[in-house]
């Protein structure tokens, strides 16, 4: 019996199994994380290509008439990589590039807080009667207008990593591109802003 105990004490057979059991969970998390990151990078590359193609189609004279087909093309490409993805589309048109995502001017009374507060006035550039943090108008615009095409994709992560390392199950990616509509007609006149009171 003492001989058996001594031989068992010296026996290292199976030691690598214990080492593997310690390292395997960390390795698997790293491996799944690498695959998840690779999936995101690939989806981002495919989406950038699809969005630029869709935006180019949108700038043509026939663009507004084929809105559903253009959006469907982008959504089809997304769903090849993330079949249950929720895809949202947004188009805003501007008179020129300097207007993109620019807020309407506020005549502030010394507050300089970037908000249209009661007692202040603003320059209503898009004619909707309310102050906007973005002067763009929804849609394709007209000839020679600038269009910002944005696609938001929300989908479940490829692997269940979110539970293991405190991440959200769903992730959202947003893609945007800005292009100028083709000169298939004369561009409309830029509306003159009206000074209106902040609400």
DSSP string across 114-139: SS--TT-EEEESSSSSS--SS--EES
pLDDT at 186 over 70: yes
Whether 154 and 86 have beta carbons less than 8 Å apart is answered as: yes
User: Per mean pLDDT, which range of 28-42, 80-94, 130-144 is the poorest?
Assistant: 130-144
Query: What's the rounded mean pLDDT across residues 150-173?
Result: 84
Band (pLDDT 50/70/90 cuts) for residue 151 is: very high
The three-class DSSP label of residue 27 is helix
Report the b/e string of 119-149 with b at 16+ CB within 10 A. Answer: ebbbebbbeeeebbeebbbeebbbebbbbbb
pLDDT of residue 26: 87
For the segment 48-70, what is each residue's pLDDT rounded down to a tens digit? 999 888 888 877 777 666 778 88
Band (pLDDT 50/70/90 cuts) for residue 119 is: confident
User: Within 13 Å, how many C-alpha atoms sit on residue 114's CB side?
Assistant: 4
CA distance 4 to 185: 96
Positions of E strands within the chain: 86-94, 106-107, 121-124, 137-138, 146-156, 170-180, 194-197
CA distance 171 to 157: 7
Whether 116 and 131 have beta carbons less than 8 Å apart is answered as: yes
Query: What's the rounded mean pLDDT across residues 150-159?
Result: 90
pLDDT of residue 187: 76
Token digits for 183?
């000169």
């Amino acid at each position: 019996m003492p001989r058996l105990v001594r031989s068992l004490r010296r026996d290292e057979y199976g030691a690598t199994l214990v080492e593997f059991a310690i390292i395997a969970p960390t390795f698997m998390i790293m491996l799944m994380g690498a695959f998840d990151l690779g999936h995101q990078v690939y989806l981002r590359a495919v989406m950038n290509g699809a969005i630029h193609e869709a935006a180019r189609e949108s700038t043509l004279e026939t663009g507004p008439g084929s809105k559903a087909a253009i959006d469907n093309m982008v959504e089809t490409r997304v769903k090849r990589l993330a079949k249950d993805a929720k895809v949202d589309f947004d188009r805003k048109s501007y008179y020129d590039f300097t207007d993109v995502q620019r807020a309407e001017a506020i005549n502030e009374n010394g507050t300089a807080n970037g908000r249209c507060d009661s007692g202040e006035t603003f320059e209503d550039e898009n004619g909707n009667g309310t102050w906007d943090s973005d002067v763009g108008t929804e849609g394709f615009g007209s000839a020679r207008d600038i269009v910002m095409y944005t696609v938001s994709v929300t989908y479940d992560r490829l692997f269940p990593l979110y539970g293991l390392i405190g991440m959200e199950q769903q992730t959202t990616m947003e893609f945007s591109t800005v292009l100028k509509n083709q000169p298939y007609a004369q561009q409309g006149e830029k509306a003159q802003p009206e000074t209106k009171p902040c609400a």
